[in-house]
């Protein structure tokens, strides 16, 4: 299913999460989300990795990253360090913005890959920030369900350019967008898989936004 931390495999996929130090808010306004997406874009241009799913919460974020020839740690450093510097300068903040090192788990099979993507896209719903995953702006779910042509906001456009939906949607036959929506929003319980993902990422409900 998944394999633990700090081991890098070329061409591998990882569930990556990082959170604010002492539950610090990472994104205070729309410009912060845009800046963070810009940091991912810069890192992606330099290192050539893929982003398959993303959700930026207020005090943490989740992504599925597929590396190519670059160590995941270099990719994440290129994302987190510039954002931290800019955030601290903008808000006159001192100390560490992120809680120690990011958390990552190697994804070893397609079933777990799909479950992680579902888990990421349902994060805002679990936090009771929105009623449905499509209502949340700072997530790749809208790209999966609606496609690029329906999305107008700047954050939507940036996510459209960053995220590769092909691997997830290829897991479904016919009308793959609708099939994925049913997989994410359906009534079938995924409790066992969600508990495994939470264990892998050392995440619990205490880290949901206030």
Cα–Cα distance list, 167 to 53, 93, 176 (Å): 10, 39, 11
> Listing from the earlier edge strand, what are the strands of the sheet with 50-56?
2-3, 103-107, 13-19, 60-66, 50-56
Identify the pLDDT of residue 132.
Answer: 95
CA angle 72, 138, 165 (to 5 degrees): 60
Identify the pLDDT of residue 24.
Answer: 86
CA distance 180 to 178: 5
CA distance 141 to 119: 11
Identify the pLDDT of residue 4.
Answer: 44
Residues of the chain with confidence (pLDDT) below 70: 1-10, 149-151, 188-190, 192, 200-210
Provide the residue ranges of all domains of the chain, joining segments of one domain with +.
2-201
Query: Which residues fall within 8 angstroms of residue 70, CB to CB, at 6 or more apart?
Result: 47, 48, 49
Identify the pLDDT of residue 192.
Answer: 66
Question: CATH assignment of 2-201?
Answer: 3.30.70.1290
**What tens digit of pLDDT does each residue of 28-51 get?**
999 999 999 999 999 999 999 999
Identify the pLDDT of residue 9.
Answer: 59
As a residue count, the chain comes to 210
Beta strand 60-66 pairing with 2-3: unpaired
């Amino acid at each position: 299913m998944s394999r633990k931390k700090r081991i890098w495999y070329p061409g591998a996929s990882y569930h990556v999460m990082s959170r604010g130090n002492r539950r610090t808010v990472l994104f205070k306004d729309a410009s912060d989300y845009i800046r963070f997406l810009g940091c991912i874009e810069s890192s992606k241009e330099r290192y050539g990795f893929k982003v398959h799913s993303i959700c930026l919460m207020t005090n943490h974020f989740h992504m599925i990253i597929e590396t190519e020839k670059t160590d995941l740690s270099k990719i994440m450093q290129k994302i987190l360090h510039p954002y931290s510097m800019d955030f601290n300068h903008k808000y006159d903040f001192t100390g560490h913005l992120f809680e120690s090192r990011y958390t990552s788990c190697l994804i070893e099979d397609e079933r777990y890959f799909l479950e992680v993507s579902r888990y990421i896209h349902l994060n805002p719903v679990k936090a009771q920030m929105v009623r449905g995953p499509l209502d949340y702006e700072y997530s790749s779910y809208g790209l999966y369900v609606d496609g690029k042509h329906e999305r107008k906001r700047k954050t939507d456009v940036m996510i459209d350019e960053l995220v590769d939906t092909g691997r997830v949607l290829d897991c479904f036959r016919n009308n793959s967008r609708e099939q994925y929506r049913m997989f994410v929003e359906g009534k079938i319980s995924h409790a066992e898989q969600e508990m495994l993902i939470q264990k892998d990422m050392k995440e619990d409900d205490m880290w949901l936004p206030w």
